[in-house]
Amino acid sequence: MTLQEALKRLTDSGAELYCKICTVDDINKDARTIDVSPLDESAPILGVNLQANQDETDGFVAFPKKGAHVVVAFLSDATAVAVVFGAVESVIWTIGEDKPVEITAEKSNLKISIGDTTIEADDQKQIKFNGGENDGLVIIKNLTDKINELVDAFNNHTHLLASGAVAVAGSPAAQSNPAPINIPAITSKATKLNKSDYENTKIKH
C-alpha cells in the first residue's frame, strides 16, 4: 500500500493519525524501510516506510542510523512511516528515471551522478571525476615552475670547448686551438610561460 492509499483510507474511515517515538533496530536500504522499537516498550514495528511510494526508486529518502530516535506516524494498523529523524546515516535524492540526477550524501562521502557522469568528494580532500581513471589533474603552479626551469636552462646554456679540441687548417703542421673556446648563449631566447597560457579556469581542484 502506498502512502497516498493509506492516507485516503485513514481519511475515509475517520480514524486519527497518531505517532510514536522509537529507536531504529534495523535498516533495509533495498526496500527503503526500517524496523523500530517504540520507547513506550510496546511491540516492535517492522517495515516502517522511509518514502511515499515503496515501488519507486526516485525521490528523496533518508536512512537513519541504528539506535537513532525517529518519530513514526501510523496511517493505519498496517502502515507506518518515519517522519522525523534524530540522526541519519545517508541521504539519497534522485530526480528522473531516464539518465537520472542522483545525489548521495554520507558521513565522509558525497557523490553526484548525471547518467554516466559522476563527481565524488570525500573527507580526505579527494575529488574524482568519472571514477578518476585518468589519474590526477595537473597542479598548475608546479607545471609552470618546471617548464620555466627548462626555459632558463635553454636560455643560459653555453658550451666550453677544451684546449686542442678544434683542429685548425692552413699550416703545414696540424694545429689546434691553443685556448678554450667559449660558445655564448643563444641570442633568440625562449619566453617564459604563464599559467594563463594553458589554464582552464572553469575547472578547479
What is the tens place of the pLDDT at every residue in 87-107? 999 999 999 877 889 999 998
Give the domain extent around 166: 140-197
**Is 204 a member of any domain?**
no
Same-domain pairing of 64 and 129? no
Same-domain pairing of 26 and 43? yes
Whether the pTM exceeds 0.85: the reply is no
Average pLDDT, the chain: 83
pLDDT class of 65 with cuts at 50, 70, 90: very high
Burial class (CB in 10 A: 0-12, 13-18, 19+), 163: exposed
Same-domain pairing of 150 and 192? yes
Residue 3, pLDDT > 60, answer no
Same-domain pairing of 56 and 111? no
Same-domain pairing of 78 and 13? yes
- Which of 89, 123, 154 is the last residue in one of the domains? 89
**Total of domains in the chain:** 3
Distances from the Cα of 146 to the Cα of 41, 67, 139, 141, angstroms: 69, 54, 11, 9
Burial class (CB in 10 A: 0-12, 13-18, 19+), 124: exposed
**Is 175 a member of any domain?**
yes
Residue 85, pLDDT > 70, answer yes
Same-domain pairing of 55 and 78? yes
Same-domain pairing of 9 and 76? yes
Same-domain pairing of 102 and 84? no
Distance separating alpha carbons of residues 112 and 125, to the nearest angstrom: 16
The pLDDT assigned to 153 comes to 84
Spatial contact of 65 and 89, defined as CB atoms under 8 Å apart: yes
In sequence order, the 6+-apart residues with CB closer than 8 A to the CB of 197 are: none
The pLDDT assigned to 79 comes to 82
**Is 202 a member of any domain?**
no
**Is 205 a member of any domain?**
no
